[in-house]
Amino acid sequence: QVQLVESGGGLVQPGGSLRLSCTASASLTVMGWYRQAPGKERELVAVLSTGGSPDYSDSVKGRFTISREYTNNTAYLQMSSLKPEDTAVYYCTARRFLNEYWGQGTQVTVSS
């Protein structure tokens, strides 16, 4: 019933910025972002519940900002001061009731 559509990934130099977006086909309680680098397990990046405050992993806190546009069922991840170690496939995730949904992923590559 619920689908997530992501956009905004790409190639950026260290210190640069990117903004990821994730649009859901329905209103969701929780939306957030995970990432997975080659050879590593998927890790939580940021999450924001409806009406709540955001949570971030220690590795991105102070550099990334998650926000939501509730009228459009959209979540954003503003990424600044990007580092090569941020290179990964970024996945949008969302939850409503007891169901969990995932986007297809978007590649972020940080390299000079």
- What are 6-26's pLDDT values in tens digits? 999 999 999 999 999 999 999
Predicted pLDDT of residue 83: 98
**What is the rounded average pLDDT of the residues 31-57?**
96
pLDDT interval class at 1 (50, 70, 90): confident
Maximal CA-CA distance, the chain: 43
**What is the rounded average pLDDT of the residues 67-76?**
95
**What is the rounded average pLDDT of the residues 90-112?**
96
pLDDT score of 33 more than 90: yes
Count of all residues that appear for the chain in the document? 112
Secondary-structure percent of the chain, ordered helix, strand, coil, rounded to 5: 5, 55, 40
- Mean pLDDT, rounded, of the chain: 96
Q: Which amino acid is at 86?
A: D
Predicted pLDDT of residue 93: 97
